[in-house]
Structures are given as structure tokens and as C-alpha cells.
């Protein structure tokens, strides 16, 4: 790959200032070329000069004052590798942007359902917020209990061999950490690579009233952070849960 071709392709996504700044420090620039650049810069204002650089590079014009390097230099293998990695990264990002499933996880979304297939109307009403960091679920129970469960799923949560009850530190938004008892579910083949923590919620109405539109949860076990995640549109989710629970 030649540097002259590189300048044309990069001009599409970079300003002229960045292009010129990248060219100037090159060790192979001769003193004569540096002098020519200084003379050119002194002949016109910096703003007009950079505007002309941008116009010429964008149009692929090589005539005019020689403020671009006139010699054709070959990139080193390290530079070639860096450019190839950048190209691959750009292609990956572009593919992900066009993937509706990935973008849904990237932006985060709520899913509303009943947590048990055989549930009666108003029972086991659940709302799950999912994004690339994991998920947070608030679910109710049946008519015999007014409480519910708050469940967190994430890749850094411990995955014990057996069910256990442990102490953890829970921080919501900018509040002070609170020490709570929490259930740590065993590793599951249905959810490989992630762990699960569950809090008992004494009152679903109280939990719904406490839901904020934007809310952050941070959980630490033995002083080590194992979960950090935020949701959005919490008010809509709480309203949907209330609507489901009222069907009891």
C-alpha cells in the first residue's frame, strides 16, 4: 500500500488538520519540504490553508502548492498491520450497526411476560431489562404472596456448584451501599458463561413505586464488584407490571 493512496482514503473521514498533522512528524520529511511548508503557511491564513488542503485531498487533486509530500513512501510492515487491523475493525463495526439483534442489545430493551407458563391472570408478572452487560428482572408471585423477586444475570457473577445464600453489597444510583442477603444460583447449562443473583422483594407494590425511569445497580461480593448495570424507561416497565398484577 502506498502513502499517496492512504491520504486519499483517509481524507473522507478525517479533517485536513488531522491529515496535515499526521504528515508533518514523519521522520522521512526533508528539511527542504519543511521549509516549503512553512513558506506556504505564511502566505495565507491558517484557516484558508487548511480549507484548501481539505478541498484538494477530498477531490484527489495533486496540483497546486507542494504542501503534501511529493515523494512516494512505502509503509513499514508494522504500519501495514495497523491499517489492516483498523480496516477489519471498521468492517466489524459496520456489520454490527446493520445487525438489528445486536443493536437491540446495544440500546437495551424491556421484555414483559408471565414467568410461568401455567400462571393465572395476574400471577408471576415479570419485566426484564436486557443489554450487553446482562439483565435485571423484577417478577411477582402468585395470589398467596404479595412479594416478588429481583434477579440479576451477568458474566462476572459467581457460578457456584450448588445453591447458596450469601451476603452482598447493593448500591442503587448514588445511594450508600447496603449489605443484603442474596441467593446465588448454581451454574446452568441453559445459561453458560453467566451467573445469577436473586433478592427477595417483600412487597411488589413498594418495589414498583421505587422504580425510577433511569436506575443503576452495583453489586459487590467480598469487596469485589460482580455486577454493574443501568436501565432506562423504568416508569413504562413499572406501569406494565401494575397492569398485569391488577388482573389477579
Dump pLDDT digits (tens) for 223-246: 999 999 999 999 999 999 999 999
In this structure, is the dihedral angle defined by the CA atoms of residues 113, 114, 120 and 122, taken in order, positive or negative?
A: negative
- Please report, rounded to a whole number, the percentage of residues in the chain having pLDDT higher than 90: 47
Give the other-Cβ count within 10 Å of 170's Cβ.
19
What whole-number distance in Å separates Cα of residue 159 and Cα of residue 1?
Answer: 49
CATH 3.30.70 for the 106-245 domain, yes or no: no
The whole-number pLDDT of residue 84 equals 85
Helix (H) or strand (E) holding 193: none
What whole-number distance in Å separates Cα of residue 4 and Cα of residue 70?
Answer: 9
What whole-number distance in Å separates Cα of residue 108 and Cα of residue 96?
Answer: 15
The whole-number pLDDT of residue 110 equals 96
Residues whose CB falls within 8 Å of the CB of residue 64, separated by 6 or more in sequence, listed in order: 52, 56
pLDDT digits (tens, 9 = 90+) for 88-136: 878 877 777 777 777 787 889 999 999 988 889 999 999 999 998 999 9
216: β partners: 230
- For 29, what's the count of Cα atoms within 13 Å in the CB-facing half-sphere? 18
Between 127 and 6, name the one with better pLDDT. 127
Domain boundaries, the chain: 3-97, 106-245
Between 2 and 150, name the one with better pLDDT. 150
Q: Which of 64-68, 147-151, 168-172, 183-187 comes out lowest in average pLDDT?
A: 64-68
Helix (H) or strand (E) holding 234: helix 234-245
Amino acid at each position: 500500500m502506498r502513502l499517496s493512496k492512504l491520504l486519499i482514503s483517509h481524507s473522507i473521514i478525517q479533517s485536513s488538520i488531522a491529515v496535515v498533522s499526521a504528515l508533518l512528524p514523519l521522520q522521512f520529511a526533508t528539511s527542504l519540504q519543511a521549509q516549503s511548508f512553512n513558506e506556504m503557511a505564511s502566505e495565507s491564513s491558517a484557516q484558508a490553508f487548511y480549507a484548501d488542503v481539505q478541498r484538494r485531498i477530498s477531490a484527489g487533486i495533486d496540483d497546486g502548492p507542494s504542501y503534501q509530500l511529493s515523494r512516494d513512501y512505502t509503509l513499514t510492515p508494522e504500519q501495514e498491520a495497523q491499517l489492516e487491523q483498523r480496516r477489519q475493525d471498521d468492517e466489524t463495526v459496520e456489520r454490527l450497526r446493520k445487525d438489528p439483534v445486536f443493536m437491540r442489545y446495544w440500546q437495551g430493551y424491556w421484555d414483559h411476560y408471565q414467568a410461568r407458563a401455567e400462571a393465572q391472570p395476574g400471577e408471576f408478572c415479570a419485566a426484564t431489562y436486557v443489554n450487553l452487560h446482562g439483565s435485571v428482572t423484577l417478577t411477582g408471585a402468585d395470589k398467596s404472596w404479595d412479594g416478588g423477586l429481583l434477579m440479576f444475570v451477568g458474566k462476572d457473577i459467581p457460578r457456584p456448584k450448588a445453591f447458596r445464600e450469601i451476603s452482598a453489597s447493593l448500591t442503587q444510583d448514588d445511594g450508600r451501599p447496603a449489605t443484603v442477603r442474596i441467593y446465588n444460583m448454581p451454574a446452568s447449562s441453559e445459561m453458560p458463561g453467566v451467573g445469577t443473583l436473586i433478592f427477595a422483594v417483600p412487597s411488589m407494590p413498594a418495589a414498583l413505586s421505587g422504580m425510577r425511569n433511569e436506575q443503576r445497580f452495583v453489586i459487590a461480593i467480598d469487596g469485589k464488584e460482580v455486577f454493574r448495570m443501568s436501565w432506562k424507561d423504568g416508569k413504562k416497565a413499572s406501569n406494565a407490571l401494575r397492569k398485569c398484577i391488577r388482573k389477579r
